Structure 1
Amino acid sequence: MIESGLCDAQNFPSSTQSTGGITEIGISSAENSIFLKNISYAEMYAELLSRKHYNLKMIDGALITLLYRFQNENLIAHRLSFFPAPNLEVFQNEPELYMQDELYLEFLDKRIVTVPLRFDFDSGDAFVPVEHPMSHLTLGQYENCRIPVSSAISPYQFISFVMKNFYRTAQTVSSCELTSFPDKFPLTILPEEKTLVHVCTPV
């Protein structure tokens, strides 16, 4: 992705072991307490950026983070986040440098509204049928926004989702082809959750 010009910084994932057969794959600088603070989105973004709490930093400032937790090789939780930059001052200060690029033209479109999103998976005590689906999508940092998702999301599925929905232009489609991985997690959505509007992962 760096070669394509869409990503300008990255932090390689780290793996930590703890008691009970727990393995966490994420970012060495990860600190989840920031997500629980009652602060503005702009403040949270600035803190994430200063701590380098991201796997990928995109050219428009968006931060992508992936955190997976396994117990004895079984997935028990994940947090996959896409945090757009709260503003695009870096690009707006010198727009003439970017106006010839189709992708930057979309970044500078005044109609665009910054909306962070997060795919969470938790098979532990937090899981409550319908109210707190095992796998769910949260939009806009709304505390009670938990749109059911049919299964956990693989890294390839998440990155592909972000690229195809937020960085798709005629130019980038051809210049940033991700290596495809067929890995999928088993379905976890319940019948009663299927009656709601939900997100289906590839099968």
Structure 2
Amino acid sequence: MTTQLIRVGLSVQQNFPICKSFPDKVYEVTYANMQDLSIVLKNRKYEEIYDELESNNNYNIKMIDGALLQLLYTYKTKKLIRHRLAFFPSPYLESFQNEPEIYEDDEIYADILEKNIMAVPIRFDYDPNAFQEIDHPKSHLTLGQFKNCRIPVSSPITPSLFICFILRNFYNTAFLKFSNELTFQHTLFDETITNLEKKLLHIAIF
């Protein structure tokens, strides 16, 4: 996926995936240069969080507009025990929006030139050890760094589903343009949502 995003010009900087092994048959699928991510949970301005991640190259992919993508998976043997998938839009889109003539001839920038766009970070988490029905679903979506925003998701998210979700919703013009070149293989994890959580507004994956 990283190679394909580079090929179509959507990734301008990247750290390729690596695998780290730990005791008890635990291993992480992460990225080179991955550092402490506690910064994203601290009560600090979003610009400061973004700047620290960006300056330390603490991401998988840096998109054409500066948005950062992070994909972290933890397994024990062959069982997924945790994941963290994050999208950190650049808080500095003014550089694109104030000088649109630089970018308007390239349609892949079309989705980021609107002046009413607001940067909202998005995170998909899977953590069954922290499970509390409804209050902390095993798999959930957090919007805008809100501490108690945990929208139930029917299952953990695979890398291809996450990347396609980001491209389809935030880079739709480019996604449609390069649809024949972005040939991701889609797989699904088993469902983890409870029947009670299904009665809430939630995200379903089939």
Per-residue CA deviation, residues 139-162 of structure 1 (Å, 9 max, x unaligned), is: 000010000000000000000111
Q: Which residue of 2 aligns with 1:165?
A: 169
One-letter code of the match for 1:62?
A
Distance in 2 between the 1:121 and 1:34 partners?
Answer: 19
Q: Which residue of 2 aligns with 1:101?
A: 106
Deviations 1:104-140 (A, max 9, x none): 243121111111100000121x111110000000000
Quick check: 1:160–1:178 contact (8 Å CA) kept in 2? no
Contact 2:157 2:188 in 1 (8 A): yes
- Residue in structure 2 matched with residue 8 of structure 1 by the alignment: 12
Q: Shift of the alpha carbon at 1:54? A: 0.8
**Shift in Å at residue 93 of structure 1?**
5.5
Alignment of 1:19-30 (within 5 A): 19-30=23-34
Q: Does 1:81 align with 2:81?
A: no
Name the amino acid aligned to 1:54: Y
Structure-to-structure mapping, 1:98-137, within 5 angstroms: 98-124=103-129, 126-137=130-141
TM-score, with length taken from structure 1: 0.93
Q: Percent identity at matched positions?
A: 50
Whole-angstrom CA distance in 2 between matches of 1:33 and 1:88:
25
User: May I ask how many residue pairs the two structures share in their alignment?
Assistant: 200
Q: Could you list the runs of 5+ residues in structure 2 that have no partner in the other structure?
A: none
Instruction: Please provide the CA RMSD for this pair.
Output: 1.5
